[in-house]
Amino acid sequence: MVKLTAQAAGTPWPIRLGERLTAFGNLSLALLLALLMGRLMELSGVLVTTEVPRDVGMVILAALRSDLVLFLELLVFLLPLFLACRMILRGKNADVRVYGGLGSLVLIGAVALSSYFLFSRVPLGSDLFGYSLGDILTTARGGYHFTELSVATLLLPLAVFWVALRIFNRHPVLKARAALLLLGIAVTLSVSGVRPLPARGALRSEFAYNVAANKAALFIAETIAHLRPPLPVTRRVPDTAQQFRYLDPQYPFLRGEDTHDVLGEYFNFEPGAPPPNIVFLGVEGLGRAFSGPNAYLGSFTPFLDELAGQSLYFENFLASQGRTFASLPSILGSLPFAEQGFNSFGRGMPKSLTLLSILKRSGYRTRFFCGTRLDFDHQGDFLEQQGIDLMVGIGDYDASYHRLPGSDWGYADREILRKALLTERDDSARPYVDYVQTISTHPRYAVPGQEKYLRLFEDRMRELQFSEAEKANHRPYREIYSTILYTDAALRTYFEEAAKLPGYRNTIFIITGDHRLAEIPPSTRIDRYHVPLIIFSPRLSRPARIQSISSHLDIAPTLLAFLRHRYGLAAPDRVTWVGSGLDMEPSLRNVHRYPLKRAITSLDQYVSGMFFLDGDLLFAIERDLDLEPVRDDAALERLRAEFADYQARNALFQREHRLIPDGVYTAYFPRR
């Protein structure tokens, strides 16, 4: 039997090198088989648990290309490591032991990234580096759980790898020339600029792209981009790209306050009435895809649908971020993202003003309720900087409250809402701003009494008159839909009890999603941001359905303009809003322009007018926020210039840590 092992001492080094290169080439075939097995497990998991992408053939071809290119580029990285280790490690089966160790590390990383994608339906990128170790552990313990598929995805490729290693060691299939040719192709490919990731516009949807992309290649590419030093901010942008009249180059987002009161006409206003209470309900993962009229997945929020009919309902509303990390600064302060979200500054956050600090100065009591750790995403740091009066987190619930089953995230939505209600009932002497942040519609998607809501899921599909094919497409996500129904029912109970409070008739409720959950694959690149906005109050004079586009960044300017105009509340005349205020136009249009931050370390998407920019890809925004790829060089250049203006200001803000002058800030936070 021929074995690819090191030759006896005294063999000339060119011969030993040739033999080791031949051994490396043959053993690399085992790694290729294992990587392909891992990809087969990943694709099988997608096809079993997810609706198949319409262009599945193109997805599979793109996936194979992505895997093969990455494999060849990995050889260039592994070869010097293999040769260096073989100079140290000698003896029987040294080639197998060295390559087996290196290949196992590669495989463990690759299958871990595949498992993460199967679990979350979003590839892991450089956003990993934007979270603290505590945040990562909380997310893992709270969401990830081992299944037969996840275990198989890990073990089968490793088993294939080690079996194939021994086979190719004993029975090599590549002669010396073939092995050298393989390595030559790998080196040529690496220096030629060919990259393993598919072209961004090559597939129909973002989910199809994410399926096709090799997860290790994507993680490596985003990590390199994240670690690359940022370019100096020197590029001048045309004045026409600026949305606002900025006041001072030292404060890149400082401008005059000119937001119009667009809400007042929808409310019954009583002269001399006290200012209204304001309650924000930030619903984890609530997307328009499964909530509200014309939801393309069908609506699984029957209570919110009822409430929307009595409210100001924004059908084409956008979250500003693809995850929770920027929701509080965006909704409460219309604040810029900085590099990794405004909260990433931690306790060193630049001075800022938000609804919390401005309204507290006018006599409001400010409170925040969640069922998780307050330090997650530096939320507690942000709230403390705004002078919050009360923060309720995971450590503030007694034994009468129920945690989420099998999860370290914390307390279920019904318990969070009950805690907020009790606080509002016991403290109603002053107007208040409450922010309630839910969590149950989050991986692991487990809630108390889940069997009941799984039955309600089946009932809801019958109510929606789903075909058998539609039911089959929805059932892989039944746990997710059951948690959506649970949270919707918890909100119904909350509003029934809130109606009994003395201040209810003078309360404005603002309900929105922090982002659209990703575990049910989004249909387009903008779908991740498509959430509802419901503004409800017993003081509303009439409901309205609004189809024009607005975002989280428009909420704070609009509310403050309403309170200033109708109730005479003091507000700064210089602000740092990124948004320009809600647009109340009933028909579809967009008068805004702003960035969208997909993940904590990425900022490559932008909306302006009826166009959406994703990297270098331009899309027209159509009805229901569908996207259509377009070729419009003038529009592309305009959006690039506008986006460059925001990025330049954002980079200057990140570097200088200056947002507002002390004179504006100390009017709301007097020096002691």
DSSP calls for 484-496: HHHHHHHHHHHHH
- pLDDT confidence tier of residue 148, bands split at 50, 70 and 90: low
User: Hey, is 91 helix, strand or coil?
Assistant: coil
Q: In one letter, which amino acid is 296? A: Y
223 pLDDT more than 70: yes
Kindly report which listed range (145-149, 159-163, 213-217, 232-236) carries the lowest average pLDDT score.
232-236
Q: Which CATH architecture has domain 239-575+583-665?
A: 3-Layer(aba) Sandwich (3.40)
Whole-angstrom distance, CA of residue 365 vs CA of residue 87? 70
- pLDDT confidence tier of residue 105, bands split at 50, 70 and 90: very high
Per-residue CA distances from 458 to 470, 472, 474 (Å): 12, 11, 10
Tokens, residue 525: 């690149």
Per-residue CA distances from 14 to 79, 191, 209 (Å): 16, 25, 45
- Per-residue pLDDT at 204: 72
pLDDT tens, 475-528? Answer: 999 999 999 999 999 999 999 999 999 899 999 999 999 999 999 989 999 999
138 pLDDT more than 70: no
Q: Which helix (H) or strand (E) holds 254?
A: strand 251-256
Distance of CA 79 to the CA centre of its chain: 37
Tokens, residue 223: 């990590």
| Total H helices, total E strands in the chain | 19, 17
CB-CB contact of 615 with 631 (8 Å): no
pLDDT tens, 408-443? Answer: 789 999 999 999 999 877 766 789 999 999 999 988
- Per-residue pLDDT at 11: 60
Most confident of 127-131, 139-143, 423-427: 423-427
3-state class percentages of the chain: helix first, strand second, coil last, to nearest 5: 50, 15, 35
Measured in degrees and rounded to the nearest 5, phi and psi for residue 251 equal: -125, 90
pLDDT tens, 389-409? Answer: 999 999 999 999 999 997 778
The pTM assigned to this predicted structure is 0.86
Angle separating helix axes 13-49 and 94-120, nearest 10 degrees: 20
Question: In degrees, to the nearest 5, what angle opens at C-alpha 228 toward C-alphas 222 and 232?
Answer: 125
Q: Are strands 432-437 and 277-283 parallel, antiparallel or unpaired?
A: parallel
Q: Are strands 277-283 and 507-513 parallel, antiparallel or unpaired?
A: parallel
141 pLDDT more than 80: no
User: Hey, is 333 helix, strand or coil?
Assistant: helix
Whole-angstrom distance, CA of residue 661 vs CA of residue 286? 36
Cis peptide before 166 (omega within 30 of 0): no
Whole-angstrom distance, CA of residue 327 vs CA of residue 388? 17
Bridge partners, 349 (sequence order): none
Percent of the chain with pLDDT over 90: 63
Higher pLDDT: 243 or 24? It is: 24
- Per-residue pLDDT at 57: 83
Tokens, residue 228: 């690359």
- Per-residue pLDDT at 651: 93
Question: 436: closest CA among 419, 456, 455?
Answer: 419
Across 59-72, average pLDDT: 91
CB-CB contact of 479 with 300 (8 Å): no
Question: With 0-12 CB in 10 A as exposed, 13-18 as middle and 19+ as buried, what is 422?
Answer: exposed
Whole-angstrom distance, CA of residue 157 vs CA of residue 159? 5
Contacts of 81 (CB under 8 A, 6+ apart): 102
How many C-beta atoms surround the C-beta of residue 283 within 10 A?
Answer: 28
Question: With 0-12 CB in 10 A as exposed, 13-18 as middle and 19+ as buried, what is 510?
Answer: buried
In the chain, where are the structural domains located?
A: 13-227, 239-575+583-665
Whole-angstrom distance, CA of residue 614 vs CA of residue 605? 5
137 pLDDT more than 60: no
Across 549-553, average pLDDT: 98
- pLDDT confidence tier of residue 548, bands split at 50, 70 and 90: very high
6 pLDDT more than 50: no
- Per-residue pLDDT at 45: 80
Across 109-135, average pLDDT: 75
pLDDT tens, 567-584? Answer: 999 999 999 999 999 999
Which residue is listed with tokens 């990943």? Answer: 42
Question: 316: closest CA among 48, 453, 516?
Answer: 516
149 pLDDT more than 70: no
Tokens, residue 31: 């790694």
Q: Across all residues in the chain, what is the average pLDDT?
A: 88
pLDDT tens, 17-45? Answer: 778 888 899 999 999 999 999 998 888 88
- Per-residue pLDDT at 210: 86
> In sequence order, what E strands does 311-408 have?
312-318, 365-369, 390-392
Contacts of 320 (CB under 8 A, 6+ apart): 326, 327, 330, 529, 551, 552, 553, 594, 595, 596, 597
Tokens, residue 296: 């393309």
Whole-angstrom distance, CA of residue 119 vs CA of residue 482? 17
CB-CB contact of 496 with 488 (8 Å): no
- Per-residue pLDDT at 147: 63
314 pLDDT more than 80: yes
Whole-angstrom distance, CA of residue 622 vs CA of residue 316? 11
Higher pLDDT: 207 or 297? It is: 297
